[in-house]
Structure 1
Amino acid sequence: MQSGTSRYQRLPRHEVVSQWIRNEIDSGRLGIGAQLPSEKELQKTFNISRITVRRALQTLESEGLIYRKQGLGSFVADFRLRHGLVRLTDFSEDISSAGIEPSSKVLFYAQENASKDIAKELGIEERSVCVRLDRLRLGNGKPIAFDRTWIPLYYARLLDGRDLERETIYQILQREYKIPVIRGRYLIEAVNADRELASYLEIKENQAVLAIHRTSFTVSDQPIYFQKRFYRCDRVIYELELERDPSKNFHNPSALPLRQFSPLFVQPIKNGQSHC
């Protein structure tokens, strides 16, 4: 473990320690449930008193980032946030509901010819022109996900000239053109990040990410877009809850209706503060 004092020279001594621990948690070097260095180790590393170490730990505990066990030490808390995803939502709605500030960076926006697989998802002919939109999705300024979205030319033209770093496809189509998104088809799997994806998400190449493939539909079962979203696994997991109604499923007990489908977000740290 290396001292971080040189990076935070202007901070009070207790905040030097708490900021270093925040950065270790935010980077994933200290994962949920991981034990923090002991008070004695922190004293030695940062050349500070035991009282200063305890003040730093108390700050982190009050923020919800750590918890302490008598006689065992301090541990990283499970500070993932939950919200429902039973209805169709977009990234900004998901993240905002979790108390995290969303933002996006457009990395690519141009026409291209649809591959066989993309054409099938969009309901168009292979090699037909569509628009591809790549965006890096951020929470409190930290990378959470990378999106690659293909849009049929008709709907893409409605997005021309729009600020796709601040506006979402849902917002533009539904609010301004009265084109509702009424259904979504999801495929969720774990994949390894290639070099390009790893660089966007600031993770190691071949590190596992959560991939969600989604096709969104409007009326008459018309596809609006097909999207591949790749989440950092340390930023989100999904929780699925099913509920059996014996009166409705007596003859088919395996048919369990969806009650809740929820992403649990890890709160990225902004300016050294947690909002849990």
Structure 2
Amino acid sequence: MDRSGKAAGAPAAEWGSSRPRAERARRVADVLRQQITEDRFGGALPDERTLGRQLGASRNAVREALGLLRQEGLITRRRGVGTTVVMPKYGHGLDRLAGLAETLAGHGTVTNEVRVAEKVAILPDAVAARLEVPAEAGGVRLERLRWLDGLPLSLDTSYLTADVGAAVLAGDLVRRDVFGLIEETTGSRLGRADVAVHAVCADPDTAALLGIAAGAAVFALERLTRLADGRAVDAESIRIRADRMTLRATLHRGLPPATA
């Protein structure tokens, strides 16, 4: 795709009238959504005619695509003002182990509202299994509402092993990432994390905390983080506003598996 948004070498017929109307609008919306996420337009989009010329699409297809993006809450359209992005999305890389404040350095101010910071005598069985410790070993539970430039971004719940968690509790949980506190208090670097991401509908309590409508889509991120020696220390469940964050990764193709 070239910088104008048109697929390089692709004929305008890609968006042609032979396609069903809804499909044409969806395809245009997919391209525009990607460009908005990559901040190609800044805060305001060009007019429908200009977008149609850039994409090789009809004005009707562009208009319907913009309607889809407005329904998603990604843009707003006002007579005399034009089409503007509701709020910027920020990229969070999944190919590097980093805390939120570290990831968003230079993009805004991250603050943390500490809702829970407590020692737990008995870990839930599922959490203990993730941390690879007996449930009776106990641990520390943290729940923090993460804010970016005054707007809620994510709700993070962490269970840490007892020794690591006790030291983290003594740190600055309002201004620091947990990852940095773990490395500082253990004197060991973090090694790796296993991550799973899926989409869920926000329950009423989570939605209220994140400032979104109940049932709105959020990213649900489950992460188990280990020290460099392989020891599991931090089991997290994170709910991230999908309208404010884009999850990114750079993937490299390896050799195909050997066949017998």
**Same-fold call, TM > 0.5?**
yes
Q: What does residue 88 of structure 1 align with? A: 97
Cα distance change on mapping 1:215 and 1:239 into 2, 3 Å: same
Matched AA of 2:236: Q
Q: Secondary structure at the match of 1:185?
A: strand
Q: Which of 136, 147, 166 lines up with 2:145 in the alignment? A: 136
| Total equivalences in the alignment | 190
What is the rounded CA distance, in whole Å, between the counterparts of 2:92 and 2:236 in structure 1? Answer: 22
**Structure 1, unaligned runs of 5 or more:** 1-31, 35-62, 254-276
Matched AA of 2:223: R
Report whether the alignment pairs 1:75 with 2:53: no
Q: Is the 8 A contact 2:140 2:161 kept in 1?
A: yes
Q: CA deviation at 1:33?
A: 6.3
Q: Secondary structure at the match of 1:242?
A: coil
What is the rounded CA distance, in whole Å, between the counterparts of 1:64 and 1:242 in structure 2? Answer: 27
Q: Report the aligned-residue RMSD.
A: 2.8
What is the rounded CA distance, in whole Å, between the counterparts of 2:154 and 2:133 in structure 1? Answer: 27
Cα distance change on mapping 1:76 and 1:155 into 2, 3 Å: same
Seq. identity, %: 21
Cα distance change on mapping 1:168 and 1:81 into 2, 3 Å: closer
Cα distance change on mapping 1:79 and 1:196 into 2, 3 Å: closer
**What are the residue-to-residue correspondences of 1:155-194 with 2, within 5 Å?**
155-194=164-203
Q: What does residue 119 of structure 2 align with? A: 111
Q: CA deviation at 1:189?
A: 0.8
TM normalised by structure 2 equals 0.65
Q: Is the 8 A contact 1:33 1:75 kept in 2?
A: no
Q: Is the 8 A contact 1:134 1:148 kept in 2?
A: yes
Report whether the alignment pairs 1:125 with 2:134: yes
TM normalised by structure 1 equals 0.61
What is the rounded CA distance, in whole Å, between the counterparts of 1:189 and 1:83 in structure 2? Answer: 15
Q: CA deviation at 1:204?
A: 1.6
Report whether the alignment pairs 1:150 with 2:128: no
Cα distance change on mapping 1:152 and 1:206 into 2, 3 Å: same
Q: CA deviation at 1:225?
A: 0.7
What is the rounded CA distance, in whole Å, between the counterparts of 2:125 and 2:219 in structure 1? Answer: 24
Report whether the alignment pairs 1:252 with 2:257: yes
What is the rounded CA distance, in whole Å, between the counterparts of 2:171 and 2:108 in structure 1? Answer: 23
Larger RCO, structures 1/2 (Cα 8 Å, 6+ apart) = 1
**Structure 2, unaligned runs of 5 or more:** 1-30, 34-40, 50-62, 64-78
